[in-house]
Structure 1
């Protein structure tokens, strides 16, 4: 998918200058996604729980807490709640309940707002819809081991089906001819696919933890990103390059050299800047994820909603 490199402040800064010249999407994944799927997910979730509660007035906080009590009961403990996909589902639930407590309308279907990269064309792959559906379901079954095993496997299978359907579309002889116009090959769609790939790995790890065995055929499913995205910028890159290069020449040499040394020179700088920005995000996704099944032992960390509540936890 291009050149691999570690994220750098220089590339990020140059990308921000390029975006000022010719707007292109922000490929940075939601902090919820990277934080809750990281090795420090429990700490991030606790901090997010506190931040969400602190944003509410007393009446809103009471309604928010009551909604959590209705879902999880008087004990307020969530099995595996401080880890991975369950932590992410709780973070999404906190945001949803907080919005509802403030009187905002929140959809209970479709892509979870703010979690995936926004596509101005409105395209979201089936993978995005499947993952959003799963995350909305988890809080309601988190303390039911049987349901959690069943649903984790079912959604892993659905993610596999969604992923393979995209791969099958690429086998069409017209794929290479129409690649630039295919919605699932656009930059934001590919970034969302990268998030889905990371999510599937973390969900596999979760399934291993709660199932206790790797014997399932689904554990062999290991999706990858194989094709570079199409970058459609809101300008003519060739024309805008002159303005971008002029702006870059006013920067310290270190910034210019870092950018030029990391990227090929066969395409316009603005396309390179967009590619660099997306690769920074790709690296962030892969480096933060705890989804490496092969290198991790089963683990469990429940989350105590009651102990971290800012409103009295009554029933």
Structure 2
């Protein structure tokens, strides 16, 4: 999907050098999150389904297909499975089943691996756990419209409640909501909340917003997580940058707002990732009319019967 008004600054070389000098988190959103909540989710999901199946041995593929047959039945159809939060849940399910048939241990609880920015201290806001729980539930209720409507409403309400709870934790300094990892994960969960509203409208076949999602602005005064002494690392970064070709260097855009060059690079990397995420989901109202079911049977690489 091409976007005209979503410019990002290419600082790949400098970001790579900066992370070598002083490790800081990668803020790139999971491709699943970007692709499955976009308007082209059906195509992305089919491609992901094929890629996952193609990565398995014939024996593993048989087990994988059998697990899907057990969950969705002989028909192999998933209601609204090609769009939005259901598409995301299916993509997560495909990855989970693939790991299981390879003999890997996969937890049925907690944060879904790879979907959020990894926190080394395993300190995630409650919304991250709620989103993970909902996505694990969806495959088991996707073909039950009444249950899907009820659970979507319940989880949306829960996320909104947790938003207020987290804001209070931030005010009390109990949770650092301005820390880069937490701030980005909160942005992901906010976009997921809006996606639940879109899904709810698809189920009810209405353009009316019945689930109220409070607006969340972009995080300000983000505190960046550096696994080093930033001041010392900054000297090394500046020296390494001088070795780059002139065409790959860039000027500090906001020197008065940045403590060091290292902070500037982290800020731009954070901003680039935010722009990517916002552009993938820039007009949720336009997505309500996308109502594609997903035919697991038609795209299966193994006999479904």
Both proteins in one fold, TM over 0.5: yes
What does residue 9 of structure 2 align with?
Answer: 8
- Using the alignment, how far apart are the partners of 1:203 and 1:263 within structure 2? 39
- 1:204 offset after TM fit, Å? 1.1
Alignment of structure 1 residues 105-184 onto 2, 5 Å: 105-172=105-172, 175=173, 182-184=175-177
TM-aligned CA deviation for residue 194 of structure 1: 1.2
Aligned partner of 1:209 among 198, 202, 209:
202
User: Could you list the per-position Cα deviations for residues 152-187 of structure 1 after superposition, in whole angstroms to 9, with x for gaps in the alignment?
Assistant: 111110110111111122334xx4xx8xxx443321
**What 5-or-longer segments of structure 1 have no aligned partner?**
none
Q: Indicate if the aligned counterparts of 1:141 and 1:148 stay in contact, CA closer than 8 A.
A: yes
**1:1-315 alignment, distance < 5 Å:** 6-9=7-10, 11-172=11-172, 175=173, 182-213=175-206, 218-257=211-250, 259-261=251-253, 264=256, 266-289=258-281, 292-293=284-285, 295-314=286-305
2-side partners of 1:262 and 1:90: how far apart? Answer: 42
Q: Distance in 1 between matches of 2:49 and 2:74?
A: 18
CA-CA distance at 1:220 after TM superposition: 4.8
Runs of 4+ displaced beyond 6 Å = none
Q: Output the CA distance in 1 between the equivalents of 2:186 and 2:95.
A: 23
Alpha carbons 1:203, 1:291 under 8 Å: kept: no
Alpha-carbon distance in 1 for matches of 2:218, 2:147? 30
1:256 deviation in Å?
2.3
User: How much does 1:225 deviate?
Assistant: 3.7
List per-residue Cα deviations over 1:244-276 (Å, max 9, x = no partner): 11111122333323x423665641011111111
The answer to whether the Cα contact below 8 Å between 2:252 and 2:264 also exists between their aligned partners in 1 is no
Does the 8 Å contact 1:39/1:290 carry over to 2?
no
- TM-score, with structure 1 as normaliser: 0.89
- Give the unaligned 5+ runs of structure 2: 1-5
Say whether the 8 Å CA contact 1:205–1:291 is kept in structure 2.
no
1:150 shift after superposition = 0.8
Aligned residues between the structures: 300
| Deviation, structure 1 residue 222 | 3.1
**Range 266-275 or range 116-125, more displaced:** 266-275
For residues 237 and 7 of structure 1, what CA distance do their matches in structure 2 show? 25
1:38 deviates by 1.3
Tell me how large the CA RMSD over aligned residues is: 2.0
Output the CA distance in 2 between the equivalents of 1:110 and 1:230: 25
Q: Measure the CA separation in 2 of the matches of 1:251 and 1:265.
A: 24
